[in-house]
Structure 1
Amino acid sequence: MSEAQLLATGQPELSLPRHVAIIMDGNGRWAKQRHLPRAAGHRAGVEAVRRVTRAARSLGIEALTLYAFSSENWRRPEDEIGALMGLLRLFIRSDLAEMVRDDVRLRIIGDYSRFAPDLVALLDDALARTAPNTGPILAIALNYGAQDELVTAARRLAQRVRDGAMAVEAIDAEAIEAELETRELPPLDLMIRTSGEQRLSNFLLWQAAYAELLFVDTLWPDYGADDLAAAVAAFGQRQRRYGGL
């Protein structure tokens, strides 16, 4: 089902996921299949980001979270990391005006302070310029790892208990969620991973507890509006029982 067909049914809003997260996988394999350098795959992946973020807005998805750079990605070759950072700069510079115009709220999850100072400043400026917006959220995971996120949350709560500001018995799921970097986002409804791999790769582990998971064979640079519309349609066919009958 295409994006246009899905919108034309008049029914997707009844089961539309509020929050969709995507593990964007397959840039390297896309390039390899075409005998191109990996950097070419990453450039094509940025174009897929543009297609999908625009499609998410058209479909009415409230929040879209993209796994752009994990805390484990620092293990990649230095030249590849440099290329990824360059593409991130290019994306922010070229697409920020569109985000402001379309009332998109940019969010960053992860510790991007490790990036080069000019890139940190660029991201800070983008966050500030989109902060007044009230429309859909685009969250980008940068230097993010779910296990680190949970460790940080646990340490903050432990410090509150040590300081006498919180009782141990007060630590519950809501208290933990309030410490997560996604606390301003709606609950995660749908997680998609491209390229045929079937694992979460340390992405939104807590948030994915009751999310619907969808693994597709399409390589990320080939993913587009119709693919996202098909994922939303598949989500609408699933029954979410949350442990009940």
Structure 2
Amino acid sequence: MSIPENQKVAVVTGASSGIGAASARLLANDGWHVVVAARRKDKLDALAEEIGGTAVELDVTSQESVDALAAQLPRVDLLVNNAGGAKGLEPLTETSIEDWTWMYETNVLGTVRLIQALIKKIEAAPDNSGLIINMGSIAGWSVYEGGSGYNAAKHGVRVISRALRLENHNIRTTEIIPGRVATDFSLVRFEGNEDRAKAVYDGQLNLVADDVAEAVRWVASLPNHVNIDRLELKPRTQS
């Protein structure tokens, strides 16, 4: 992987669309060399060419895939754990164990895999400047009907972020907590059903991916002695 010797490196997972892609663009504008990682390599290649970054195909549910990414990286100053998602909106008693498993593998264990694989490189960032940003959700703080599996998974991300802060790895750790954001999140949740996905956002005031990406960019721009423990953002009308 060819990266200029003195350029800071950010790794953004789930970067093929939505918040991940928007974050990669803003970080690149701030001077980071951004490694964009996700499963959809065709979209990653186009994004990497646009921002002057590097595209790496990544499946966060696969330890082999995560290890292969880590082996390619000469340095990591910032990890943005953005890969995640939800499936289904059924009552708890009707939910699919397969959907729960996917949500845990992607949101929780995927986050842990990336942290474990890259922590030594992040700790080695100059002047203790290493930073991990975990993409949480208001779903990790407030339970809603039909969201039990996703609520539980995002509560897990919340715990991961707090544990890292307590364990003091001489790095900074931030959980970003978005409310309702109009992306393809609901399209994944409803397995491509565009009508159901669109209904989630119709008639609502929503955040967009760039709003959350700006929070990522701002946290990453702060001096090394500043840690934002958690940053919650919602559309004005969401209480």
Q: TM range, normalised to the smaller chain?
A: 0.3 to 0.5
TM-score between the two structures when normalised by the length of structure 1:
0.36
TM-score normalised per structure 2: 0.37
Task: Select the structure with the greater relative contact order (CA < 8 A; seq sep ≥ 6).
Answer: 1
Larger Rg: 1
